Amino acid sequence: MSTAPDEATTAEHHRHPRPAPHPMPEALPLDLSELIADRQTRIVVCCGAGGVGKTTTSAALALAAAEAGRTVVVLTIDPARRLAQSLGLAELDNEPRRIDVPGAKGELHAMMLDMKRTFDDVVCAHAPPERAEQILANPFYQALSSSFAGTQEYMAMEKLGQLRASEQWDLIVVDTPPSRSALDFLDAPNRMSRFLDGTMIRLLTAPARAGGRAGMRLVGAGFLVFSRIISKILGGQLLRDISSFVSALDTMFGGFRERATATYELLRRPGTWFVVVATPESDALREASYFVDRLSTEGMPLAGLVLNRTHPPASIALSATRAAGAAEEVLEAGGEGAELAAGALRLHAERMSAAAREQRLADRFTSAHPEVPVRTVPAAAGDVHDLEGLRVMADALTGPDADTPTGVPRTRILPARHR
């Protein structure tokens, strides 16, 4: 893969220099403090692969924004239980609640998305009461609204639209669902609306829509056989459920696709920024790469990459190679405390190698996307599950660029090789 030498073994490579085909591009600094303080910023969406820290980053950014004087609401999705509890979000009520942040100039509100409730609200808002009741009781609707892949993404956008329309907050920070792929947030609503508005469902439900036998004549014998097979697989009742649900929807609001498109447009408006979160691992960074490309295709503005849970060493004075060498020497010399000292040196060597690995992955990302600003956030000792933990993370996200213990700028994990 990469032919770049380890940070840790730079010393050797200096002695036997290899021609470097391209100088390694330096990542631009990501100034999240300016982004959230800017009154023009109205929506910040945190995206990324599963488990990288989207929810935590969203909450920490919202906290920083409230402290900077914004009236902010953070829409979290499936937050870890302890984080939810400490934010007072233990109950799902699908509405924002104010969180007391002592000393904050602004206001922090937080909510946890309840996708079924959000879906129900959409139905109630658009259908006459009697029809709404029918839809809510429909088994297909119940399955769709609580478990269909893509519903969560769709409803997150729906809720975002509602929050934005209420004009109650001057900044909305949006967490995205725990999908495997970051792209799901952008793709799932369309996929779902294509499914609901799609040919398949229209054909399957055609007989019911066109009214029994007359409808069947429209679709032809081949389809009837197909329909019967599908009926057998899915069950006739389910087909009837889908059919009545879809025709109810039709009368409700000219299709899901239009609705998905409208909310999608919100993400393109000026004032919306995407923050891509990744951990320094190849899978997460690959996802981040796809997502960055996709945003640029869609003309959606990217603020930058948050590289979360990095492991910067406590000291950069000693390279991995020298630390490992020193460990050997100490052991050879023997004497009191030699084992302990060698252990500490080896541990440092491991840390330096791990940091070098993380930096190499970050460099690879920056080589592919030199225009994307980066901010690294070190892994905390434990989980981030309370306001205090969020504040530490908020500082790492928005604090000055070079105030780290080793002076390494927060665009990086280790210092740049050629200074």
Ligand X SMILES: Nc1ncnc2c1ncn2[C@@H]1O[C@H](COP(=O)(O)OP(=O)(O)OP(=O)(O)O)[C@@H](O)[C@H]1O
The helix (H) or strand (E) run that includes residue 76 is strand 71-76
Structure tokens at 162: 């509602």
Nearest-Å Rg of the Cα atoms of the chain is 26
Query: How far apart (Å, rounded) are the C-alpha atoms in residues 102 and 386?
Result: 14
Amino acid (one-letter) located at 156: A
Q: Does 393 bind ligand X (CB under 6 A)?
A: yes
- Shortest approach of ligand X to residue 78 CB, angstroms? 6
- Comparing CB distances to ligand X, the nearer of 204 and 306 is 306
Q: Does 386 bind ligand X (CB under 6 A)?
A: no
Q: List the single partner that 341 binds among ligand X, Mg ion, none, CB under 5 to 8 Å by kind.
A: none
- Comparing CB distances to ligand X, the nearer of 80 and 248 is 80
Q: List the single partner that 380 binds among ligand X, Mg ion, none, CB under 5 to 8 Å by kind.
A: ligand X
Structure tokens at 51: 């488990």
- Comparing CB distances to ligand X, the nearer of 252 and 377 is 377
- Shortest approach of Mg ion to residue 79 CB, angstroms? 6
Our CA angle for 351, 352, 354, nearest 5°, is 65
Site track 71-110 with ligand X (rule: CB under 6 A), x = hit: -------x-x------------------------------
Taking CB atoms, the residue at the shortest distance from Mg ion is 55
- Comparing CB distances to ligand X, the nearer of 52 and 66 is 52
Q: What is the footprint of ligand X within residues 159-178 (CB under 6 A)?
A: 178
β-bridge pairing 97-99 and 107-112: antiparallel
- Comparing CB distances to ligand X, the nearer of 45 and 246 is 45
What are the CB-based long-range contacts (under 8 Å, 24+) for 391-400?
Answer: 391/60, 391/63, 393/56, 393/57, 393/60, 394/60, 394/61, 394/63, 394/64, 394/67, 397/32, 397/57, 397/60, 397/61, 397/64, 397/306, 398/32, 398/33, 398/36, 398/61, 398/64, 399/33
For 211, counting Cβ atoms within 10 Å of its Cβ (0-12 exposed, 13-18 middle, 19+ buried), the class is exposed
Site track 126-165 with ligand X (rule: CB under 6 A), x = hit: ----------------------------------------
- Comparing CB distances to Mg ion, the nearer of 159 and 259 is 159
Q: Does 183 bind ligand X (CB under 6 A)?
A: no
The CA–CA distances, whole Å, from 243 to 14, 186, 197, 348 equal: 71, 27, 12, 64
- Comparing CB distances to ligand X, the nearer of 151 and 308 is 308
Question: Which region among 45-53, 94-102, 194-202, 332-340 touches ligand X (by CB under 6 A)?
Answer: 45-53
By CB under 6 A, how many residues form the interface with ligand X? 20
Q: Taking the CB of residue 393, how many other CB atoms lie within 10 A of it?
A: 24
Instruction: Decide if 20 contacts 392 (C-beta within 8 A).
Output: no
- Shortest approach of ligand X to residue 136 CB, angstroms? 28
Q: List the single partner that 379 binds among ligand X, Mg ion, none, CB under 5 to 8 Å by kind.
A: ligand X
The helix (H) or strand (E) run that includes residue 221 is helix 221-234
- Shortest approach of ligand X to residue 356 CB, angstroms? 20
Closest CA to 392 of 401, 400, 380: 380
Q: List the single partner that 45 binds among Mg ion, ligand X, none, CB under 5 to 8 Å by kind.
A: none
Closest CA to 130 of 243, 241, 238, 252: 252
Which member of 41, 56, 227, 272 binds ligand X (CB under 6 A)?
A: 56
Q: List the single partner that 383 binds among ligand X, Mg ion, none, CB under 5 to 8 Å by kind.
A: ligand X
Which residue matches tokens 């792209």? Answer: 183
Based on DSSP, count helices (H) and strands (E) in the chain, helices before strands. Answer: 18, 8
Q: What is the Cβ-side half-sphere exposure of residue 200, based on CA atoms within 13 angstroms?
A: 10
- Comparing CB distances to ligand X, the nearer of 51 and 128 is 51
Q: List the single partner that 258 binds among Mg ion, ligand X, none, CB under 5 to 8 Å by kind.
A: none
Q: What is the footprint of ligand X within residues 326-385 (CB under 6 A)?
A: 377, 379-380, 383-385
Closest CA to 106 of 167, 65, 59, 166: 65
- Comparing CB distances to ligand X, the nearer of 19 and 382 is 382
- Shortest approach of Mg ion to residue 108 CB, angstroms? 18
The three-state secondary structure class of 107 is strand
Contact set with ligand X (CB under 6 A): 48, 50-56, 78, 80, 178, 308-309, 377, 379-380, 383-385, 393
